[in-house]
Amino acid sequence: MAFKSSYFFKTAAVLLGSALCFLVFLEILPKRIFSESKNLTQNVAIDSLLLETLAADSLAVPEHDTLVSRKITFEPLDGIEFPAESFEQYKGFQYLIPFFEKLYQLEIEHQGDIRIAYFGDSMTDGDMIVQDFRAAFQSQFGGNGVGFVSITSESAASRSSVTHKHSTNWKTQSYLTVKKPLKPFGVNGHVFFANDTLSNPWVSYKAGMGKHTAMLYQPTLFYGKSSNEKGEVNCIIGKDTLVKTLKPKLALNFLNFSELPVKSLKAIFNKADSIPIYGFNFDDGKGVHVDNFSNRGNSGLPISTFNPALMQEFHKKFDYDLIVLHYGTNVLNYGSLNYNWYEKSMAKVVNHLKTCFPGVTVLVVSSADKATKYDLEMKTDSAVVPLIQAQKRYALVSKSGYFNLFEAMGGEGSMAKWVDEENPAMANKDYTHFNYKGSQKVAGLLYDELMQGYALYKSLRKRKPKLTAKPTSDSVSLKPTVLDEP
């Protein structure tokens, strides 16, 4: 009996000690060990530049942040100066003045047209967000067409703004995974090769159901330089087949298949191996056009691999007025809350874009909220706020506009509300990506933000001082006088 009693007390002591140890370690262990949300995006390839930059710089000691407490003032541009801002309030409309002026010329003077390049990650996959952003602009300012569409796309099957199909025998190189492509990447970050001569690669497009994308306007193929002069494209439009020869003599070449809008087309490439193919463009050349350049797994850093000479050729054709950078999803959760490395790298990306597309303005869209389970409750991930602060800093340093999507959707805890409390839900159960309903909401928030800036610009433009020549006694000498514009 004594033995059994002793054994009982020893066992109880061990159990009690284990319980106490568990309680102690529970307080010091991370509250989140494994994410319990399932990522609904398949086939995600994280870009190689992100991994390399992270490995090199993520452990760097963060610099003292002097921007947070500084009053931000702007130098006048063409006589217009937006009000000073604090870091917390920063929107940077001052740096979007050239874009706003183009809107003004289009809306008031009925002159020109506008083109926007929207670069993003899986948030804009399948033309999500962008298709509604595009529709809002085209409804207000005119324009028809879905814009630039790649030859192949991982989201082709899920896109509703255009029905996009392609053969599986295209050779594809992406700036997410390839540093030195066989030929320079196109404006979409890809280059495609029809290198299968036994089974000719093909691609087909059919217009979507949207009001402004119900036809394929002026279908035009873009391709690069090659010594191959035997390449042909058989283009099937309705019952007609057009056979056109590729002439890859310039860094960027384009081939128009119809001046009239068409409902669908199929392009079959013959003997076109080694010719870099970039994609098709569909627009009517009027109003506003928005190209969606989305890539799953993209951090934004691969844009630094763009070839400036080729991009300037694209710019001559498209004349971009605004570039939107919408990233962040793939930068979160790498074991550090220090995003100084990302801030510096993306500031360089913006400067590179301004070299590639001279005169363009840039708008940085922050990361959205993302929820992770802490203590059995879905809350804003601890990395979100540090990341959006870094995105705001690189926007400010690179003289770009900034849209705080995190705050616009409700700030702390908003993603959980969009998933669990909104009816219908506006985001997926991965607590990261928006669904169609949420994407429409985000597009509206972004469009409204730009329209607020545009309205303020028009107000400031009316008050802009105008220099006129005031006659003097000396008929040769003219003295400038500042007058208010009515």
pLDDT tens per residue, range 235-289: 999 999 999 999 999 999 999 999 999 999 999 999 999 999 999 999 999 999 9
CA 91 – CA 93 distance, rounded (Å): 6
DSSP 3-state of 336: coil
Please tell me the number of Cα atoms within 13 Å of 431 on its side-chain side: 21
Q: Are strands 277-282 and 147-150 parallel, antiparallel or unpaired?
A: antiparallel
**pLDDT tens digits for 325-382?**
999 998 987 767 899 999 999 999 999 999 999 999 999 999 999 999 999 899 999 9
User: Is the pLDDT assigned to residue 24 strictly greater than 90?
Assistant: no
Element (H, E) at 279: strand 277-282
User: Is the pLDDT assigned to residue 17 strictly greater than 70?
Assistant: no
pLDDT category, 18, cuts 50, 70, 90?
low
327: exposed, middle or buried (C-beta count within 10 Å: 0-12, 13-18, 19+)? buried
Contact between 98 and 359 under an 8 Å Cβ cutoff? The reply is yes
Which one has a higher pLDDT value, 234 or 154? 234
Q: Identify which of 175, 485, 480 has the alpha carbon closest to the alpha carbon of residue 300.
A: 175
pTM (predicted TM-score): 0.85
CA 365 – CA 286 distance, rounded (Å): 26
pLDDT category, 22, cuts 50, 70, 90?
very low
276: exposed, middle or buried (C-beta count within 10 Å: 0-12, 13-18, 19+)? buried
Contact between 384 and 329 under an 8 Å Cβ cutoff? The reply is no
pLDDT at 372: 94
Q: Identify which of 123, 311, 227 has the alpha carbon closest to the alpha carbon of residue 131.
A: 123
Long-range contacts, 24-28 (Cβ 8 Å, 24+): none
**pLDDT tens digits for 62-98?**
454 666 667 999 999 999 999 999 999 999 999 999 9
Looking at the DSSP bridge assignments, the partners of residue 468 are 481
Maximum alpha-carbon separation in the chain: 126
CA 154 – CA 125 distance, rounded (Å): 9
Contact between 431 and 390 under an 8 Å Cβ cutoff? The reply is no
Contact between 64 and 345 under an 8 Å Cβ cutoff? The reply is no
User: Is the pLDDT assigned to residue 317 strictly greater than 90?
Assistant: yes
Instruction: Write the secondary structure of 96-144 as one string of H (helix), E (strand) and C (coil).
Output: HHHHHHHHHHHHCCCCCCEEEEEEECHHHHHHCCHHHHHHHHHHHHCCC
Q: Identify which of 90, 43, 53, 87 has the alpha carbon closest to the alpha carbon of residue 68.
A: 87
pLDDT at 464: 79
CA 146 – CA 290 distance, rounded (Å): 7
User: Is the pLDDT assigned to residue 10 strictly greater than 90?
Assistant: no
